[in-house]
Amino acid sequence: MVRLWEELCEIICCPEDREGLDFRGSEYFCRSCSGRYPIVSGRIVDLRPRSPQSIPGGTNPEFARDYLDVFHGPLEQSGEALAWGATEVVPPRWARLREREVRHVLRILEEKGSALHTFCDFSAGAGYYTLSYARAFPLVLHCDLSADSLFYASQRSEKLGMNNIVFLRIDYLRPPFDGQLDCAICMDSLERGEGHERMLLGAIHKSLRPGGVGVVDFHNWWHNPLRRLGLLPQNFGNNRSYSHREAEALLSSSGITNFRYHPFHQEFEENGVTSRIARVLLPSTRHLFFFTQTGS
């Protein structure tokens, strides 16, 4: 792990002042503000800023409360760690749909043929992407604010013998990256309100190196409009879904202009006649966007 910790120094920065960090055996140390970021349980780096961010008005109030609770929670394991979306606690069909998008995203990344060394998931949760992509990228960063998610995914990676994943406790609204990432994704998270979405998209965009690739998705309002209008039982709480035009407007207003749209239908595998017909006739489940950092 020492080699990974040292390599990480070239990628992460202090979340307070964006300055470089030094690796000191059991922690990272900021050269400028003297901030200390410990390595917990030998695998998880606590890279939270000193205080939480101000959540924009209009954000899902339940999320705003949970964000503060999770931010201030200790980085320790109490009992069996189970991440949100862990295969042990979700219906098998739900997990299969999630895994279908994981394969879809990797297929597009491979088609792009980019020489991407580092893969980072900003909201990694149970590790659907990070654990699946560990063999496709030399270095994988599994990022989350939830202690349970980090311990759960860390323990799974250890059982699977994966030694190229590092686990970072970050606040994705103020991440410890400043233009160093090759590839960053954030899935199933742009659903809290337009202000939150702009903050998060801006943070991801600024974390990419020039030429780096970002991947995000939005829930498609038109996938189930009767639920959104209240004509069928609501199953989405206070979360937001967006039309294609609204999603593109959020990207543009966050400084992201070089993007490409890939509609994703999670109900169908990509191969086969049924899938091809469905993708023409039915609204996509998610608006999936790939974008490139064009800054210098």
The predicted-structure confidence for 137-170, as pLDDT tens digits, reads as follows 999 999 999 999 999 999 999 999 999 999 999 9
Does residue 56 carry a pLDDT above 70? yes
Domains identified in the chain, total number:
1
pLDDT in tens, 115-143: 789 999 999 999 999 999 999 999 999 99
Cα separation, 194 vs 196, whole angstroms:
5
What is the average per-residue pLDDT within 173-185? 96
Q: From the centroid of its chain, how far is CA 119?
A: 11
Q: What does pLDDT average to over the chain?
A: 90
- Provide mean pLDDT across the span 72-90: 86
Residue 294 has a pLDDT of 86
Q: Above pLDDT 70, what percent of the chain?
A: 90
What are the distances in angstroms from CA 216 to CA 14, 61, 71, 79, 292?
A: 24, 22, 23, 33, 12
Contact 219, 82 (CB under 8 A): no
C-beta of residue 195 within 8 angstroms of C-beta of residue 173 = no
pLDDT of residue 272: 64
Would the pLDDT of 278 be above 80? no
Give the Cα separation of 187 and 171 in Å (integer): 15
Residue 214's domain spans which residues?
Answer: 2-292
Residues 6+ apart with CB under 8 A from 161: none
CATH number at residue 184: 3.40.50.150
Q: Under 8 Å CB-to-CB from 92, ≥6 apart: which residues?
A: none
> How is residue 165 written in tokens?
């994943």
User: How much is the pLDDT for 110?
Assistant: 87
Q: Please tell me the predicted confidence (pLDDT) of residue 53.
A: 96
DSSP, residue by residue, the chain: -HHHHHHHTTTB--TTT---EEE-SSEEEETTT--EEEEETTTEEE---SSPPPPPTTS-HHHHHHHHHHHHS-S---SS---TT-TTTS-HHHHHHHHHHHHHHHHHHHHHT----EEEETT-TTTHHHHHHTTTSSEEEEEES-HHHHHHHHHHHHHTT--SEEEEE--TTS-SBSS-EEEEEE-S---S-HHHHHHHHHHHHHHEEEEEEEEEEEEBGGGSHHHHTTSS---STT---B-HHHHHHHHHHTT--SEEEEEE-TTS-SSSHHHHHHHHHS--SEEEEEEE----
The pLDDT confidence band at residue 270, using thresholds 50, 70 and 90, is low
Q: What is the pLDDT of residues 209-251, one digit of tens each?
A: 999 999 999 999 988 765 666 655 666 678 899 999 999 999 9
